[in-house]
Every structure is written in C-alpha cells, then in structure tokens.
Chain A
Amino acid sequence: MNKLRLKFSKNGPIKFIGHLDVMRYFQKAIRRAEIDIKYSEGFSPHQIISFAQPLSVGATSDGEYMDITVNSMESAADVMNKLNAVMNEGIKITSVAELSDSDEKAMTAAYAAKYVVRFRDSLKPDFDWINEFKKYLSQEKLPAMKKTKSGEKEINMKEMIYDYSFDEKDDSATFLLAMSSSATLKVALLFGTFFESISKELSPLALDIHRIDIYKLVENESEKYIEPLICNDIESRYYLNA
C-alpha cells in the first residue's frame, strides 16, 4: 500500500467546474487509468482520495493537491503518467510524491496559498488600484468582518498576509495568504474590504484569481519556513518573520 500526493493544474474552461465535480472527475479518471486505488470498506465503497483545499469556481490554478492511497503501483511516476494519459486538457498532474505514514494529509498540512489576482477586462477599476492598495496594506492593522457559521467575527487580515507584490505592467497583484484549518484569508474578502475602505464597490465577478501553489509549514529547532506541499526546489521556500 502506498500513499501518494499529486499536484495538478486547472486551467482554461475547466475553471468553471466546481469542487465536487472535480472530485467526481478524478474518481472516473482513476478508473480510466486503471490505477489500483484503495477503496473504503462497507456496502458502498469509495476511493481513498482527499483534496487539499477547494478552489472557487472561475479560478485557475497551478498548485492543486490531492492525496490518494493505492494498493499497488509500479512507481509514483507511473501513476502520474497513467493519469495524465486520460486527463482532459486543462487538468494536468505536474508532480507526484510518495508520502510516509507520518505525513499529514494535504488538507491538514495546508498553511498558506499564493495567488495572482487580476481584474477581468470588462470590470477593471477606474482608479489607480495598485497605489491605493499599497497604501491600504501599509496600515498597522487591517480589520475585516469574516462570515462564519455562527455569524460574523472581526479578524485582522494583516497577520494573515505573509507576502505580497504588485506588477504594474501586468496590472496584477501577488499575495501569499493564510490558508489553514485555524486561519484562512480569502482573496475576495481582502479585495472586498480594501475596496470598502476607499468607498468603492467591487463586483463579485471582477476578480480573476489564479492560485500558484499551496504551502505547508516546516518548523524545526533552527528554522521556520513554508514551502509548497510538494517541494522540489528550496528556492520556493518562504522564511516567515518571527
């Protein structure tokens, strides 16, 4: 039995496929690829698959993750190749890693996510949003109201933004935001609160969001950093300020 973590991208029209349908898509793809996936016990067995974090409908991504358990395999790379042979264009497995029993599930390990955010052409702001955003972010506290199951609560977004940059030529922003079971900051909340702070309205359809990757936290005696859930390159690590 092996546990595998697969990283995949989701681009093009596939971005309109909702999270549950992506799961159903993979269940069928795994059958088409004849992967020896492990099933749960019971009268209606299901494949042992779990996803890191749902992506909202309309967003693209180069950093989605799912964990699967197989009864047998030739190699992790072989599983990836077999799956890619039956993928639709638009969804591609880009890397695979074998997990040990002690590894946390992708869902639990997720700590942060990086996004590139643009505005859709027809809904671009009519003001210099990048400069305004920089000013906004320079404040010491960034309070926002987050909807929860039981109502609303105030959060400080500042502590949930680990990194950011703007690209004026591309008219885009890149954000590294908290995304864990204890704290998650959504791009839409950040942009919405920013727009509100300068008395502007943000159309819910305006943001064109692309997820670059999902990160986990690595903490040991000497250092503390975050890196992609599958990390093949230490350049992609972020050292967090203590």
Chain B
Amino acid sequence: MNYNLALSDETLLSIEKPERYIGNEVNSVVKDKDKVDIRFAMCFPDVYEIGMSHLGIQILYGMFNSMENVWCERVYSPWLDCDKLLREKNIPLFALESQDPVKDFDFLGFTIQYEMCYTNILQVLDLSQIPLLTADRTWDDPIVIGGGPCTYNPEPIADFFDVFYIGEGETRYQEIFELYRAAKKEGISRPDFLRKLSHIPGMYVPSLYNVTYKEDGTIESMTPMFEDVPATIHKELCLNINDVFYPTKPVVPYIKVTQDRVVLEVMRGCIRGCRFCQAGQLYKPLREKDVEHLKQLAIESLKNTGYEEISLSSLSSSDYSQLPELIDFLIKNCSEQKVNISLPSLRIDAFSLDVMSKVQDVKKSSLTFAPEAGTQRMRDVINKGLTEEDILRGSHEAFLGGWNKVKLYFMLGLPTETDEDILGIGDIANKVAVEYFETMPKEKRNGRTIDIVASTSFFVPKPFTPFQWARMNTKEEFLDKANKTRKGIMSQLNQKHIKYNWHEADASMMEGVLARGDRKLCEVILKSYKKGCIYDAWGEYFHFDVWMDTFKECGIDPLFYTTRERKDDEIFPWDILDCGVSKSFLLREWKNALSGKPSSNCRKGCLGCGAAAYGVGVCQEGKN
C-alpha cells in the first residue's frame, strides 16, 4: 500500500470524492520503481468514474504490468475542484499507484475515445507540467503517445502528440519499449528516437510529415519529410484474438463507476455494414473468441474481482456464433453465485427475449431497438438491416413475455433525409403502441400500459465510413428536424404514451468539426483550452460561444468541416492512415447509399472491403 499520497489530508477532505485520487484499489499494481526500466502512465482524459469503466485501459494496464521491467500506472482528468487546487498549489499531476508526478514517467499514453475530450488531453499535459506541443518537449518529458478510435483522424490534435499508435494496442508495445531502451542506452536525440519509432508498423509520428493545402482549403498532399518514414501507416490488428492478453484481474474501484462489472469481450469487429458506424469499419474483420476460452475468462475474472455482475461486450453480441452456449454456461454458473448477467447490444428476437427473461426482472427492464431511421428507404440508405416488421414482431413477443417499456433510438440529419423520414419516427413509435394494445387486451394488462421513449441524436459523419463524404447538417437544420420529430410524435394517436428526447445541437456540431478536422484545428483547440475550456463532453461545462469566438480569432470557418460538400476525389486528412478497408470500397458504399441500395453483411456475402487481406476472422469462415 502506498501511504504517501500526493495530496494532503486537508486537500483530499476538501474536494469531492477523494477516492478518485488515492489509488490503492483492489488489483491495482504496485512495483518497486528501482526494478523497472519503463514507467508508463496510462491516461483516460475524463473523470475517474468514466475512465475506470474503459476496457481498453484495463487490457493495456494488465498487459504492461505482466512485463517484468515495465510498471504501468493510471491517470485520469482531475475533476474541476481538484484541477483548481492543483493549479493554485502548483502540485504536478500524479499517477494513482505511485503518486509520483507524471512528468517523471517514460511514457504518457492517452486513450482517445471521443472528440469532445481533446481539451482534457491538454489539461492533463498542462497539470503534469509537460509542454503542450511536441515541438517543445525534451528528453526530460515523457513520450506522449495516443491511441483509440479518434486517432483514426489524429490531425486536429497532431501538434500535441509525439506519436499515435494506430490500431489495436496488443501488438507493438514490446518493440516500442525495446527501441526506447536502446535509444536511452545509446544516447540518441529525442527527434531521432521518434524517427526510428516511425519505422515500427502502426506508428504515426505527425511531426515527420508536411501538409500542403489547396486554395480552397482542402489538402493537396501529406508527405513524409524523410525517405525512411512511411507514406502510409497501416493499422495494427490482433491476428489471433484467443492468444492475446486479456485482463482477468482488472482494477476494482472503491466508488461506483459507470461500468461497475466484469466486462467480457466476446469478439472484436462487426459483420454489419451500417454506413454511419465508424467502429464497424475500424475493427474489421470480425474475430470471435473461442467459447471455452471465454468461459474460463469469465470464471477467473469474477473470482478475482468479486463483482456481482458480468456484461458481454461487443458491437453486436447477437452475431457471436457461440452465444447460446456461452449464455447457458453463464446462467448456470452465475445463478449459484448470485451474479447478474447484463446483455447489451442484443437483437430482440425469440432467443434474446427468452434469455433476457431469465437474467433480468422483466417488469423493470425495457426493450431497446435502434432502427436509427424512420422509414425503410432511409434505413436502406444507412444499411441498417432492421425492418419495421422486425421491430413489431419483437415487440409483440416481448409484450406477451411481460415487457411494457420500449426504447427507440434514431438519428436525425442522415444523408438524403426528407420530412417523410423524420415523420416516420413518430409513426414507428405509434405502431409499437398499437401493437401493445392489440397484443394485450385490456383484461391482460393488469392495470399496466405501454411506455415508449423515442430518442434522437444528430448524425455526425465520421472518417473511414461511407459517410465520410457526407454533408453534415447545420445547428439550425438539426433543431428544425428535432422540432418536426416532436410535432410528428405529438400528432400520433397514442402520443401520450410516447416520450421524446433529443440531444444538444451545439455539441454535435463541435463533434462534427473535430471528427473530420485537419491540422489547422490544433490552434483552435489550444486557444480554447487556454481560455478555460475543459470537460467539453459534459454538457454543463461546454462553452460553445468560447469555441466559436476562437474559430473567428483564428480565421477558421467551422462549417468548412461540417456542411461542405466533399468531392469523390478529395484528399482527407486521415487518408495517410490505412484502417484496413479501402477508400474505393467506402466510395462504392457511399454511392450505394445515395441510390438507396442496401448491402450484404460479411457472413452473407463479401463486399470486398479489403480487410480479407488480414486473412483472419469472418473473412476465413467456411474457407478451412
């Protein structure tokens, strides 16, 4: 146990939830710092409760600490009260395990899960007293490395990072550490080290590339400054998903966090080609874990943590081919141990309803459907293979099984969207209500009734999706569409059974700018941070006006990144990366979308996206 906390008792007692800063959680790893030669600070740039819920960090944390000479510790964004105290008292930000300053570490890694955390990255660097710009760092500073989905367009934060690790983290760190040890031993300069680092597959060192722009502001070229630096960076991918490290001793927090349970990743990737979905493309091809392996991981993790709940994690658990066997096993083992099973991302059908009725209280739980769009035409455009018939049949069976709460998720602002699609949202919600009343005659309702919540989010086009060419709606268009949706719902016969929620448009617009932004945005982010913007992902702390002022100051039009029509042959800031699917495939899918043509999924028929080159997973099914 580490009794020497970085913060005094008085400080800890004067801030909210001191447990965020004291470390010492069950399964956290403490090593002798004199016996390791690499100290890695792994950061999720958001508050502890969010960061501690992230599986990726638990994987890398466990994997690094399984290496004898490496000690990995955790860092999260201090909450605003603690942030203020650290600045006032000039206390450098510290890692939780050793409570040592982050600036003394060899590496500082960030997992970057959403665009709205960018200013929190600067907060962590700043509080750590590490120069915010890669150009200003020396060997006295840690190597700042970024990973996670947002690094598939790292350009808006390129100036703040020494290197980005593109792809799955399990594959290359051993090599990175070896190179670092050698560099320290040989005494080479930091820039020379970064240049050598760029030779390791998956490593993108943004300072080694020149970017030139056309007159219209789009990119003309992105070229390496040196011949030995790769012109394209290919994503890293685990070729054997059963052999890679998986943490069965994850750190167990004291305070309640968002994901407060054992998380069992059953597979990586997705066969569904929803055209708006970035994760679906980034993690291709789908690779399933062996069911016997998963059973063992589940038992070990529950034993090592004492959690009372286990959750299956994947992009679409219903597509896991061994799902019935895995669930049977879990139900049998977990009921004895009084462990709850949580099954997110299940398609609603007879099988899942049967399973859900066994593992949860039907009366309290709700059914979730994500049709994403209000008409079949629109769903064909986005290639979401869920029909109205699926929803109504699923609802029918669920109502018979005792459910009476339904959640429906939609997006507004999808490409080619018309008023008809928007009004279709209210229409589906109403049909679900009608289905309830038809399925459940009054005498069977026991005084209960149907309860529907329809939610819409605003569509944000993301890199490496067929919609990367799409024009994003303006704030005004979004709000107008939300208004139409609300009116559409209000005009329904069963409107009093339907509740409607919609997202903030300001944050969606900002997310859209950052998602498809280029290097010019580094300045905007830096300046907004210096004006006090942090925790932008937390609605109440997001200062849209400050951001907009900063854009003006920097002479950058934010709408350039959102509402602009992109030509088929435009060079995107992220084109320097290869995520495993080809641009020609994405363009083909974009054209299919515009003509309302749905595509098959990976199991029904290969679309030739390019991921088959990895020679693993679903691309190999039926070939052996």
B-binding residues in A (CB < 8 A)? 12-14, 16-18, 21, 24-25, 27-32, 34, 39, 43-45, 57-58, 86, 88-90, 120, 122-123, 205, 208
Contacts and interface: CB of A to CB of B under 8 A. Distances in A.
Contact of A57 (B10, B18, B307): B18
Contacts of A28: 26, 252, 305-308
Contacts of A34: 303
Interface string B297-314: 000001111111000000
Contacts, number: 78
A147 B1 CA distance: 37
Interface in B1-22: 1-3, 5, 8-10, 12-14, 18-19, 22
A31 B255 CA distance: 17
Contact of B306 (A13, A14, A31, A90): A31
Q: Which 9 A-B pairs have the closest CB atoms?
A: A28-B306, A89-B1, A31-B306, A32-B306, A16-B18, A13-B22, A21-B254, A205-B10, A17-B254
B14 A88 contact: no
Interface in B236-276: 252, 254-256
A90 B256 CA distance: 20
A27 B302 CA distance: 13
Contact of B308 (A31, A89, A205, A208): A31
B13 A205 contact: yes
B18 A27 contact: no
B154 to A, nearest CB: 36
Contacts of A13: 1-3, 5, 22-24
A90 B23 CA distance: 12
* Most chain B C-beta atoms within 10 Å of own C-beta, residue among A16, A25, A44, A86: A16
Interface of B: 1-3, 5, 8-10, 12-14, 18-19, 22-26, 252, 254-256, 302-308, 337-338, 361
B26 A122 contact: no
Given A13-B3, A13-B22, A21-B255, A120 B10 contact: yes
B78 to A, nearest CB: 15
26 contacts: A12-B1, A12-B24, A13-B2, A13-B3, A16-B12, A18-B255, A21-B254, A27-B308, A28-B252, A28-B306, A29-B26, A31-B302, A31-B306, A31-B308, A32-B26, A32-B303, A32-B305, A43-B361, A58-B9, A58-B13, A89-B1, A120-B10, A122-B10, A123-B10, A205-B9, A205-B10
A144 B229 CA distance: 75
A122 B19 CA distance: 22
A21 B20 CA distance: 12
Given A13-B23, A88-B24, A29 B306 contact: yes
Contacts of B308: 27-28, 31
A143 to B, nearest CB: 28
Contacts of A31: 302, 306-308, 337
Given A16-B19, A28-B26, 9 more contacts: A12-B24, A13-B5, A25-B26, A28-B306, A29-B306, A32-B304, A32-B306, A57-B13, A122-B10
B306 A27 contact: yes
Contacts of A44: 361
B22 A16 contact: yes
A216 B5 CA distance: 36
Nearest to A204: B13
A28 B25 CA distance: 12
A16 B19 CA distance: 6
A71 to B, nearest CB: 12
Contacts of B254: 17, 21, 24-25
Nearest to B28: A88
A208 B9 contact: yes
Contact of A122 (B1, B3, B8, B24): B8
Nearest to A34: B303
Contacts of B337: 31
Nearest to B18: A16
Contacts of B26: 25, 28-29, 32, 88
Nearest to A122: B10
Nearest to B3: A12
B98 to A, nearest CB: 13
A42 B2 CA distance: 41
B303 A14 contact: no
B19 A90 contact: no
A130 B12 CA distance: 27
Contacts of A45: 338
Contacts of B252: 28
B14 A205 contact: yes
A121 to B, nearest CB: 9
Nearest to A43: B361
A225 B232 CA distance: 81
Contacts of B10: 120, 122-123, 205
A119 B8 CA distance: 14
Contacts of B14: 205
B1 A24 contact: no
Nearest to B5: A13
A74 B367 CA distance: 45
* Most chain A C-beta atoms within 10 Å of own C-beta, residue among B14, B23, B306, B338: B306
A31 to B, nearest CB: 4
A30 B24 contact: no
B558 to A, nearest CB: 43
* Most chain B C-beta atoms within 10 Å of own C-beta, residue among A29, A122, A205: A205
B23 to A, nearest CB: 7
* Most chain B C-beta atoms within 10 Å of own C-beta, residue among A13, A25, A86: A13
* Most chain B C-beta atoms within 10 Å of own C-beta, residue among A32, A86, A208: A32
Contact of B9 (A88, A90, A120): A120
A16 B23 CA distance: 11
Contacts of A43: 361
* Most chain A C-beta atoms within 10 Å of own C-beta, residue among B5, B14, B302, B338: B338
Contacts of B12: 16, 58
Nearest to A123: B10
A81 B10 CA distance: 35
B9 to A, nearest CB: 6
Contacts of B255: 18, 21
